[in-house]
Amino acid sequence: MVQWVLSSKQINFPYPVALTLLHMLFSSVLCFLLTKVFKVIKIEGGIYSEIALCLFVPWIFLEKPKMDSSGPWNFPPIILGLNCLCTFALNLSVFLVISRTSALTIRVAGVVRDWVVVLLSALIFSDSKLTIINLIGYGIVSKGLVIGFVAISGIVAYNNHKLKNEASEIKSVVDVDADDQGKSQDDQAALIPPLKENT
């Protein structure tokens, strides 16, 4: 969606730092609402506001003068809102994947996602052209598709092993607790004196 907003043939908003700044501000506000106000998600700390502040300085010097000189820009707020919402959903999914698996999983998934985004944008947008140099560059950066598939299978095996170990640890704790409860009931029964019958 970001490519669509920045594309010269679609929305034509040629300010990537400003768009990233808007994404960060939107994500900061939404993250604050979800964690502090509604308490839907529990997070120890967040860095969205610090990143947004770091982007504010380059925006002031690099893009704000261009935006001021170009006059008012017509940007549909619904498109901007959907774009920011997609960015927040992506960041939330990254957070959930890392919290459930590992950083390695999201790293490999990010490489695959980049390949899909590049190929889809080349197919959908006519002004983005893939050259051999682009493809070779992506191949070098992502360590090739073969290594990616090997890495994905390794990640699947690692996460499977990790989840099985966690499940066996939970089962052993539950079994120990059940044994302790059974013993304590037997010990309690031994302490109770037998009832004497009146004759």
Q: Residue 176 is encoded by which pair of tokens?
A: 């120990």
Q: What is the pLDDT of residues 139-194, one digit of tens each?
A: 776 665 566 677 777 878 888 888 888 888 888 777 666 565 555 555 555 555 55
In this predicted structure, the answer to whether residue 34 has a pLDDT above a threshold of 60 is yes
pLDDT in tens, 74-99: 777 888 888 889 888 888 888 888 88
User: At residue 39, does pLDDT exceed 70?
Assistant: yes
Alpha helices for the chain (secondary structure H):
2-6, 16-32, 48-58, 64-69, 77-100, 103-124, 132-141, 144-191
- Taking CA 122 as the corner, what is the angle to CA 120 and CA 126, rounded to the nearest 5 degrees? 125
0.75 exceeded by the pTM? no
* pLDDT of 2: 54
Q: How far apart are CA 36 and CA 143, in angstroms?
A: 40
CA distance 143 to 161: 25
